[in-house]
Amino acid sequence: MIASRNLPLLATLLVFVVGYALCVAQFPTMLSPRVLGDLLTDNAVLGVLAVGMAFVVISGGIDLSVGAVMGLTTVFVAVAVTRLGLHPLVAFALALMLGAAFGALVGAVIHYLQAPAFIVTLTAMFMARGLSFLLTTQAVPIDHPLYAKLMSLSLQLPGGGGLGIVALIMLLTFLAGGILLHATRFGAEVFAIGGDRRAAALMGAPVARATVLTYALSSFMAALAGVVMSLYTRAGYPLTGVGVELDAIAAVVIGGALLSGGVGTMFGALLGVLIQGLILSYINFDGTLSSWWTKIVIGALLFAFIGLQKALLTLPSLRSQTP
């Protein structure tokens, strides 16, 4: 008997496998390693964001600022490299640290002011977006030898495709995120806070520290996504990542996490990202469908998964009520 709490994850896996099979049935070339490699590379940014978002959602919160932090990072890196002449690696390190500090501030405001995460991160989104516009309103191209060198690195896959540095960063992030969420004390605290904040506090979990760290982690991941985006596009642009926070939330929810907190897996989030990527590549392969079908299909999937979770949550209680 499968535990009912694993059902959403299994359903996600089923959607991905069946979806992929349907795609391959129609376009056999979609099974090639090259397409698989592209699926990972093209969705690397969303994947990195989803890792941070998974922590936030499982802790019972939400982070709407990740897209803006990501955009700010691309602009920051571009300005630091081209105008200040910093080495890209120094700029990356600075951006990641600033990202983590920004998130820690957001987490502290949420915890100590007891303000709704939704509004606080919304404010943070305005702040980060505004800051990136103050730095520049135009796209700033980055022309540094390190960029070309990094992008030429790739792990050859059998059959022609290759995993670029961008895809590798995403996979490593998911691996690290999975270990942090499922195998460390901090991960257990995140689950505990998401399950019941009061109970977690009464049982002695460091609620303040875990909340601050969760949002710091999410912003750190957003900054990392910005670095990945900057590698991928070789430019900084203040409008990068508008609305991507919703894609990240959708990925985590489709991956079986409960937006009320306490339930979710890192593997599910990865599947959620890949399902969204699959829809996009199907539309690309088909060529006649418009990209707005993506939004509708993702909305329908969101609805289906939220409905499934609701049914799983309410059915047992209904059963126990009827003698």
Partner 1 sequence: MSRAGRWLRAGLPQLAVLILALIANGLIAPNFFTLTVQDGRLFGGLVDVVNRGAPTALLGLGMALVIATRGIDLSVGAVMAIAGAVAAVAVNDGLAWPLALALALGAGLACGLWNGVLIAVLGIQPIVATLILMVAGRGVAQLITAGRIVTFDEPHLLWLGGGSVLGLPVAAVVALTALAVFLVATRRTALGLFIEAVGVNPRASRLAGIDTRGVLLCVYAASGLLAATAGVIAAADIRAADANNAGLWLELDAILAVVIGGGLLYGGRFSLSLALIGALALQTIKTGILRAGFPPEFNLIVMAAVVAGVLCLQSPAFAELVRRMRLRRSGAGS
Q: Contact, 71 vs 128, CB < 8 A? A: yes
DSSP per residue, 130-149: HHHHHH-SS-EE---HHHHH
Render the burial of 221-245: b for 16+ CB within 10 Å, e for the rest: bbbbbbbbbbbbbebbbbebbeebb
Interface pick for partner 1 out of 31, 89, 112, 143 (rule CB under 8 A): 112
Residues 121-150 within binding reach of partner 1 (CB under 8 A): 122-124, 126-127, 129-131, 133-134, 137
> If binding is defined by CB under 8 A, does position 120 make contact with partner 1?
yes
Residue from 46, 47, 61 nearest 214 by CA: 61
And the tokens for 198? 């009061």
Radius of gyration of the chain (CA): 20
Q: How far is the CB of 31 from partner 1 (least distance, A)?
A: 28
Binding mask of the shown chain, residues 54 to 93, with x at each position contacting partner 1 by CB under 8 A: --------x-------------------------------
Which of 89, 179, 183, 296: binder of partner 1 (CB under 8 A)?
A: 296
Q: Based on the shown chain and the rule CB under 8 A, indicate whether residue 321 belongs to the binding site for partner 1.
A: no
Residue 310 interacts with partner 1 (CB under 8 A): yes or no: yes
Q: Which of 299, 258, 317 is nearest to 8 (CA)?
A: 258
**Two tokens at 90?**
């120094």
Segment near partner 1 (CB under 8 A); pick from 6-14, 44-52, 186-194, 291-299 = 291-299
Determine, following the binding rule CB under 8 A, whether residue 292 of this chain makes contact with partner 1. yes
> What is d(CA 283, CA 289) in angstroms, rounded to the nearest whole number?
6
Q: Does 207 bind partner 1 (CB under 8 A)?
A: no
Binding site for partner 1 (CB under 8 A): 62, 109, 112-116, 118-120, 122-124, 126-127, 129-131, 133-134, 137, 238, 246, 249-250, 253, 259-260, 290, 292-296, 298-300, 302-303, 306-307, 310, 314
